[in-house]
Amino acid sequence: MTPPVEEPDKSGMTTIPMSASLEALTKLTTYDLLPTIKSAATIMKTAELESISNAKYVEDKELTTDAITGLRKVTDDRIAKIRNTPNLTIPSKAKVYYVSNSGNDSNDGLTPKTAWASLSKASSVKGSSGTETYVLFERGGLWRGQLVTSSYVTYSAYGKGDKPKLYASPFNAGGSENASKWVKNANNIWTFTSSQLKNDVGALIFDDSLYATKRFTRYAIKSDLNFYHDYTNGIIYLYSTTNPATRFESIEFNAGNHIILAKSYVTIDNLCIKFGGKHGVSSGNSYGLTVKNCEFGWIGGSLQHPGTNNTRYGNAVEIWGYCGDYTVIDNYIHQIYDAGITQQISLNDNTLRKQERVLYSGNVIENCNYSIEYWITSTDANPSYIDTFLIEDNLMWYAGYGLCQTRTDKSNACHIQGWRFYERNRAKNYVVRNNVMIDSLNQIINIYSTEVNADGSDSMPAFNNNIMLNKEFGQFGVLRQGTHGDKSWPKTVLLTKSLFDEVDDVFNGDVVGIIDTKLYKGNQLVIE
């Protein structure tokens, strides 16, 4: 049931009232995107108002161009602010452990001068519910490997400088000092061999800006920056016109590991998490997990089941399982093979499980195949569902572009991916508001369910004050409550004025419009 709406302001936007449980989530947010969204909507105010949906459809490409330019500036400012998040204020009675590149694991770790050195030592800390415990990494430092968390511990930063860096990549293979480690073979194929490269590498990243395209046989490497990984023997085969190490100062490997393994009641704060072939933060059934103020970049692409098939994956922040009080706020997430943020679980029994009190807010998410992805098995026999889910104040750009273009499957990119399968995603108390979703290789939205709640209500979210723009002649996607028992594949809706007749009437003050194709160069949106 669509909630009641207030009167629209001069921008044409409205504000919907929310339940007490959703209001409790929004009180956790720190960033308010609504003023910017209203400003952009005002720029587009000459658009036709579709009263049937209480949303605007903008055909005037000059107006959308002006709005996009302003929103991109806001986004870049937001990225800079996230990258410069100040350190936490640590309570005086907290237990604090320090980790520094200049430290030593034989120290006690209790002061910056007696800091530990390694991720393995940091992973040894055990928290307890009765004691506030912190593990702080020194800013400007770099750690390679995996961090294993403990419940009731916050992992964050201290000192001055850049966010502490946690990389799954075992080393940098770029720069002239590594030139001899690359061996030239015939036809511009270079090899790099290391015993530390025996977990399937999902991608090679050059100078933190370019990526190699993964191939599944060495004989398929036929163009520049294609690579194959023989993970059994730890050999990288890379096509390069010159020695890769003299060509690039930095060559990092998305090694086939999760970077952080997270438990329940853990906070990950103010870290830079990069170059992992699996997930940046990975958790199973989890309660009280918070990820905030972090940067995630260049994650994913490794084989999910090496030796079995060629399915690849890798998300920035993932819960695989049921969850509660799951909060992902104020992060910069970019260049992710799969999803920026996700909670998901496929269930094979009929036990009730919930994904509840989930908040995604204040994030910049760009160049991910899915900015946000979610699903939970829901059937007549399985009563599992999502309860109290708020997606607000996020800036989402370029779904399906960047690293995820190395995928073989390029048809499902979108900003909110709930999938179109039947028997999934029974949901209630679900709101998507005050978000920017601009440009997708495929759809903007993919939200569908054939399941209804116990009270008979449908499983669609209420939309409010979102700006959703895609290329002219592009797709809007799917936003529809399906018919119970219908197992057919729902229709994808094109981004035209008629989309309001083909999606559910859940909009309130939202703006949908087209981007001028002249802004695209080589199929990539370029804002100058």
Closest CA to 254 of 337, 174, 329: 337
What is the distance between the alpha carbons of residues 229 and 216, in angstroms, rounded to a whole number? 8
pLDDT digits (tens, 9 = 90+) for 75-112: 999 999 999 999 999 999 999 999 999 999 999 999 99
CA distances from 248 to 182, 187, 213, 515 (A): 12, 20, 16, 35
Regarding beta strands 213-215 and 226-230, do their DSSP bridges make them parallel or antiparallel, or are they unpaired? parallel
Tell me which DSSP letter residue 479 carries.
E
pLDDT tens digits, 407-427 = 999 899 999 999 988 899 999
Write the DSSP string, 251-317: EEE-BSS-SEE--SSEEEES-EEEEESS-SEEESSEES-EEES-EEEEE--EESSTTT---EE--SE
For residue 219 the two structure tokens come to 């004989």
CA distance 191 to 246: 14
- Provide the pLDDT for residue 9: 62
Torsion, Cα 41 44 48 50, to 10 degrees, reads -20
Contacts of 196 (CB under 8 A, 6+ apart): 170, 171, 234, 255
H or E stretch including 355?
strand 354-361
User: E strands of 145-271, at which residues?
Assistant: 147-148, 153-158, 165-167, 183-184, 189-193, 204-206, 210-211, 213-215, 226-230, 235-239, 251-253, 260-261, 266-269
- pTM of structure: 0.97
Check pLDDT > 80 for residue 363: yes
Residue 51, pLDDT above cutoff 60? no
Element housing 82 (H / E): helix 61-83
Note the pLDDT tens digit of each residue in 182-239.
999 999 999 999 999 999 999 999 999 999 999 999 999 999 999 999 999 999 999 9
CA distance 342 to 316: 8
